[in-house]
A and B are shown apart, each in its own frame.
Chain A
Amino acid sequence: MDTDQKKGPAFLRPPGARTEEEFLARCLQCGQCAQVCIFDCIHMHTGFNFFLSGTPVINPVDAPCHLCMRCSAICPSDALHDIPIEQVRMGFARLDREKCYTWKGLIICRSCFERCPLKGTAIVLDRGEYPVITDQCAGCGVCEHVCPQSAILTIPTRFVE
């Protein structure tokens, strides 16, 4: 965790979160976002870090965000913007073509394409077959969650903004 934090935190924030610094300065750590999340994907940050404790994080491997935006609507301190899902940039999904069934030519899988909340814009099919992640990706992590090959990794790029 420590080494990760030098590069930037290694976890996703709920959709609509501002830049990390601004988000942390506004977050009341009240946990309302975690409590209204119907997909149980938002967890309050646990562990010994005194400063981050209680802030919401998402681990897409356990449960990805489905961009229902309930959390952003409920956030009392506006740490999470209430924005349309097309504008959400939680992170960015990176597809490893060495692992992907379709790109390797084994089978036509399309799991990620079918489950993407922004199907057709965030993930498009190259030549009707090969999944490609575009810059419209919201970083929700659904594709990472459903990928049978763990070929997709969601990177919290929001911090780079």
Chain B
Amino acid sequence: MVKNKKKKSRIRRYRRTTQMAVALTFVLVPWLNTKQINLVHGNFLCFNLASIPLADPLAVLQIMVKNGYLSQDLIIGALIALGIAFCLGTVFCSWICPYGLLSDLGQTVAGKWQGKQRGRAGNRSGFLLKLSVFFLGFAGFLVFSTTPVLNQLSLPAWYSRIFQFIFVQGFLSVAIWVLLLVLATEVVFRQRFWCRYICPQSVLLILAKQLNPRRLKVGFDPGRCMGAKGDKSPCARSCNLGLDPKRLDHGLETVCTNCGNCITACSNCGKALTSI
């Protein structure tokens, strides 16, 4: 049992390490660029990793639809992002996104501060709300605006842009306060509002993962479950997004980001949850 616990909590350690590394990368990249080291550059909307393009699929889709053209780099960049989502689910949100990291840490802090009791997010997945933000923004861009508005709703992009502003031109953007405000709201209400209900960038990733029925996801074996029912079970309490991992089949799987917290929690009591 002890050995197993060690092994399983590795998921969380690997995840935190990846998240931290990515978050640090986007601080270091603009700083390195000011030192004339230009091997990597860009932000979360479009990134150039030693000439491997990576791009936010939503940003690419927006300018593709508006201008009716295809750019090889952007297509490759977007397909890499969508391909990862297709195979592994929305791991971008739980393993890479720096806002995901901040929001995740915020929930941990809130948990220590307010105790283990968590406000439930209910059984609605929140995907429809995301989808409406997505379509409103898209329609707004196509009809009224000249710039891709949904890009401005990307919190990871703002995270990286804040550091671009600071290092490239020595300017502290007001966006940092907006970011902290959203974060503070989430800590106070103990729910990850942005990730669950708003973030339009995740919509395409979620759609991509839905296309693959054999993607990586959390599986539940009711026969092995020995935890308490409902909200009090260790797995439900460990979920940062406020999901009940036992009932992911009822539409909530769209929200799950494969962070692995529930699997870690469950490894101590029955191992009913596994990644499949």
Binding site for B on A (CB under 8 A): 20-22, 24-32, 34-36, 38, 40, 43-44, 46, 48, 50-55, 74, 76-78
Contacts and interface: CB of A to CB of B under 8 A. Distances in A.
Nearest to B48: A32
Nearest to B70: A78
A30 B168 CA distance: 13
B71 A76 contact: yes
Contacts, number: 104
Contacts of A28: 45-46, 55, 59-60, 63, 148, 151
Contact of A24 (B36, B38, B46, B146): B146
Contacts of A52: 147
Contacts of A36: 33, 38, 41
A14 to B, nearest CB: 14
B42 A32 contact: yes
Q: Which of A24, A36, A77 has the most CB of B within 10 A?
A: A77
Nearest to B168: A34
Contacts of A50: 149, 152
Nearest to B55: A76
Interface class of chain A by DSSP: loop
B38 A77 contact: no
Nearest to B152: A50
B48 A74 contact: yes
Nearest to B164: A31
A26 B46 contact: no
B59 A51 contact: no
B63 A76 contact: no
Contacts of A76: 42, 46, 48, 53, 55, 71, 73-74, 77
B88 to A, nearest CB: 24
Contacts of A38: 36
A35 B33 CA distance: 6
Contacts of B152: 50-51, 53
A25 B71 contact: no
23 contacts: A21-B146, A24-B147, A25-B148, A26-B67, A27-B147, A28-B60, A28-B63, A28-B148, A28-B151, A29-B151, A30-B42, A30-B46, A31-B30, A31-B164, A36-B33, A44-B165, A44-B168, A46-B173, A54-B151, A74-B48, A76-B55, A76-B71, A76-B74
